[in-house]
Amino acid sequence: MSPFTLDPPRHALVTGAGRGLGRAMALALADLGCPVTVNYLRNREAAEAVVGEIVRRGGAAVALAADVADPQQAAALVTAARAALGPVGILVNNAGIGNARPVFENTVEDFDATFAANVRSAFIVTQEVLPDMREMEFGRLVFLSSIAAVNGGVISTPYAASKAALVGMMHHYAASLMRWKITANALAPAFIETDMLAGVPLPPPESMPLGRMGRPEEVGTLCQAIVSCGFMTGQTLHVSAGRYMT
C-alpha cells in the first residue's frame, strides 16, 4: 500500500509506459487510485499487460498507441485518453530513447532522433494537456531526466543534452503555471535496472554506492510523492544512490 495519497485521484497519462520506468510509474500511479492511460509506440502486448495488471489491482486503465513526437498523433492520443478516462490531471513525460555510442561516433542523425523522442515529445504532449489542467486548476507535470543531465552519463552526448533540456523545460513550466496550481518537477534516475542499460558497459553493482542498481519501483515511489505534493514545483529529484548529491 502506498504511503502517499491523492484526493481525489486524477487521470494520469504516462508516455512510453509499456516497460521499464514507464511501467513502474504507471503502476505506482494506479496504486494511488488514478485511472491511467498507458501510452506505447510499438509494443502493444507489453502495454496491454500493464493495463491488465492495473485492472487486476482494481484500477482503470487503457493502452493507446502514439508516436508522441508527432503533433497529430499526440493530439489524437490526448483526445482518446480524455474520452476514455476523463481530463488529464497528471502527465508523466517518460517516452524516450538512448543510443549508446562513443563520443567520436556521435552523428547529427542520432542527435535529431534523440531530441525528437526525448524533448520534442515532452513539449508536444505537455502543450496538449495544459488546457485540461488550466480548466481544472490542477496539474502535475513530471519529466524524466537523468543523472546524465548533470554529469554527462554513460550513454551518449545527445542523450545527456536531451536530459538537460528537459530540466530547463520543466523549470519554465514550473515558473509559468503556478497561478493555475499546476506543478512541474523532474526525476533524474541513475543506473536503474531497465532495458536501456542492458547493452551499456556499467561498473559491477557491488562497486556502486549502495552495492546494487536501482529498481524501477523505487522511481515509481518518487513519482507518487511528486504527484501527491501540491507544494513542490521546479525541482529535480535525483534517484542515484548518492552518485549526485544536492
- Residues annotated catalytic, as ranges: 159
Contact 37, 59 (CB under 8 A): no
Amino acid, res. 7? D
Amino acid, res. 94? N
**Residue among 20, 42, 38 nearest 29 (CA):** 38
Contact 110, 101 (CB under 8 A): yes
Cell of 56: 487486476
Rounded (10°) angle between helices 20-31 and 216-228: 50
Contact 28, 217 (CB under 8 A): yes
Give the 3-state secondary structure of 179-196: HHCEEEEEEEECCECCHH
**Residue among 78, 96, 95, 97 nearest 12 (CA):** 78
Contact 4, 31 (CB under 8 A): no
